[in-house]
Structures are given as structure tokens and as C-alpha cells.
Structure 1
């Protein structure tokens, strides 16, 4: 079990954006946000880089769960493995703990570990984005709903470790939220 968690962290440290940047001879850590995630890769290198990064980062979350299911670990142990994969993505040891923000890896983990709860989160996202017209805010609210449901609905209680990953994701997106709300306020005052 401990070995599984260590392996999960190190799988998480495989940052697709970093490898795509190397392939394109671009250091994404020095471009735009400096973030090694799909959004920054797409902004700097285009839609294909976004898609490849998103898929690569999501699939590593799926791989972590597959390993846990293969060894018949409990859902809580597998969920902790998923969280450690997300932590590895956000804080990779080999890049001085400067990675991505964890969204794609979380989506890979959440989709596989409980498709129903993932679907609820996706519907929440779609409804909120229709109201707020902000992908960042809508995503953060939908993720928060996911975390809350892990704690208040008994059928999802075994997924409680994922709420810890969501707290980290919210923390990593705090400046994006402030910027988004600031822009909305500025437009409303004009």
C-alpha cells in the first residue's frame, strides 16, 4: 500500500506539458503563467499541445487508479493514490515542486473512480458556466460541490480523500479567481 502511494506520487510527476515543451523546444516554465498544465501549453503552443497535455495528464490519473484496482486495494486507498498523483503533478520533486494546477489529473481520477459523482460535477459546471460565463469560476464551484458531496452523501463518503486534492486545486487557482472577479467588477463599473 505504501509503495502504491509512492508510485502514485511519482506517476503524477510526469508532466506532459514539460515533455511537449521539450519536444517543441519551448520552456513553458518561462512562458505566460509558467504553469506546466494544459491551459498554459495551449496558450503558448496551440490547441494540439492543449489536447495532448490534457489527455496525458488525465491518463496518468487513470493509470494510478488502474494500478490500485489491479491490486484490489480499497476505494479509499485508491483515492489516496489519486490524490498523491495530483500532488505529484502540482509539486513535482524533480522540478523544484513547480508543476501544474491539477485539473486534468483530477478529472482523470474523478471520472474513473466514480462516474456518477463526476457526472454530477460536470452538470454543475455546465449550469454555472451558463450563469457566470467564467470557466475558471464555474470549474472551481463545481469542484467544491464535488468535495462537499464526498462529505455529506454516504454513498460518496469513501471518496473523502479527493476533497483534499480539491482544496489544493482551489489554493493553486486562488489568483485566477481574484483576477476573474476583478475583471468582472471592472467591467461592471464602466
Structure 2
């Protein structure tokens, strides 16, 4: 029962859409209706500047970290920790509190990876940074770094349930970025630092 409860808590935590909350507090409207239409840190940077983006990034990351760390403290198995992290990620994508219209889950997913294993989280973050610096595309950086997450989990933890959940998160990331993928293929994807 503890595991089921923590999976539920993970989903509820993920459903707290930080970008929407920050935008409302700052009088920016609904980020799902402006800019890229995504309530993530990248869009909040466009709409409200660095402070809005930083608050969104921090809040979204903590949504992934805290439920998994709580699960660790309660002694949950790798299989249950995988489901708690996946639930937090799904909560961000499909938030119960905001009409099931959420973001793409990158910061929340990174928080989950960090809580599962900090070397894995660091590996995903460094991969994101490397692609972002070289290609100057946030979406491509997200796709590649999340695709590498299951590999890092097997290398650093040998925990198959966590790697399987990370693979599911990578597939969901591809699905949520399908529009970006089409723009990348056409050479129309916006570059970091350009509007």
C-alpha cells in the first residue's frame, strides 16, 4: 500500500504545473496559449525572463526529485521507485490540476533521474548541455539526453526497472516533441538565443 500511495503522490506532485503557477503569479497569462504553447522553462524565459524561467526550472525539477527521494526514504524497491518517478513525469505531461494539458517534462524527468541516481542525472544533464552548446537546439538536446538515460542507468546502477521506466520516458519525450522533430527535419527549429 505504501508503494501505491507514493505512486499517487508522485503523480499529484507532477501535476503541479510550475510554469502555469509562476506565469499566473507574475501576470503573464497562460503559457500554454503564448509563445511555444509549452508551460516549461524555455517558454517562460521567452514570456517572463530569467526569473520566471529559473523558478519554473527549479519547481519542475523538484517535482521529480522529492517523490522519488521520499520513496527511497521509505525503502521502496527499484520497481516501485521506477513507477513513482514515471508517475511524476506523467503528472507533468498530463496534470490533473490543469486540464491534463502539461509540458514536455524535461526538467521533471531530469529531477527523477537525479533522485534515482545522481551520476545518471549528471550524465543526462551534461549530455543535454553538450548537444545544446553544439547544436543550439533545446528540443534536440532533450531528445538525445533522454534517449541516453536508460543506457546511463544500466551503466551506473544495473537497475532494470529504472532503465525500463527511463526508456518509457524517452519514448514519451519523442511523442511530446513530434512537432519539434518535424521542424528539425525541415531546418525550421528555433535555435537557443533566438526568438
Normalised by the length of structure 2, the TM-score is 0.84
Moved more, 134-143 or 76-85: 134-143
- For residues 19 and 154 of structure 1, the distance between their equivalents in structure 2, rounded to whole angstroms, comes to 35
Residue by residue over 1:9-58, the C-alpha shift from the partner in whole angstroms, topping out at 9 and shown as x without a partner, is 01110111111111122222221122111111111111111110000000
Q: 1:133 to 1:42 in 2, by over 3 A?
A: closer
Work out which of the residue numbers 86, 90, 95 in structure 1 matches 2:89.
86
Contact 1:149–1:156 (8 Å) recurs in 2 = no
Work out which of the residue numbers 5, 9, 29 in structure 2 matches 1:7.
9
**Hey, what does 2:26 align to over in structure 1?**
24
Structure 2, unaligned runs of 5 or more: 190-195
Q: 1:73 to 1:35 in 2, by over 3 A?
A: same
- For residues 70 and 125 of structure 2, the distance between their equivalents in structure 1, rounded to whole angstroms, comes to 25
**Hey, what does 1:71 align to over in structure 2?**
74
1:114 maps to 2:114: no
Give 3-state SS (helix, strand or coil) of 1:155's partner. coil
**Hey, what does 2:177 align to over in structure 1?**
173
**Hey, what does 1:136 align to over in structure 2?**
139
1:178 deviates by 1.7
Q: 1:36 to 1:154 in 2, by over 3 A?
A: closer
- For residues 20 and 131 of structure 2, the distance between their equivalents in structure 1, rounded to whole angstroms, comes to 32
Structure 1, unaligned runs of 5 or more: 186-190
Q: 1:138 to 1:27 in 2, by over 3 A?
A: closer
Bigger Rg, which one: 1
1:164 maps to 2:168: yes
- For residues 50 and 159 of structure 2, the distance between their equivalents in structure 1, rounded to whole angstroms, comes to 35
Aligned length: 185
- For residues 133 and 33 of structure 2, the distance between their equivalents in structure 1, rounded to whole angstroms, comes to 33
Question: 1 or 2, which has the higher helix percentage?
Answer: 1
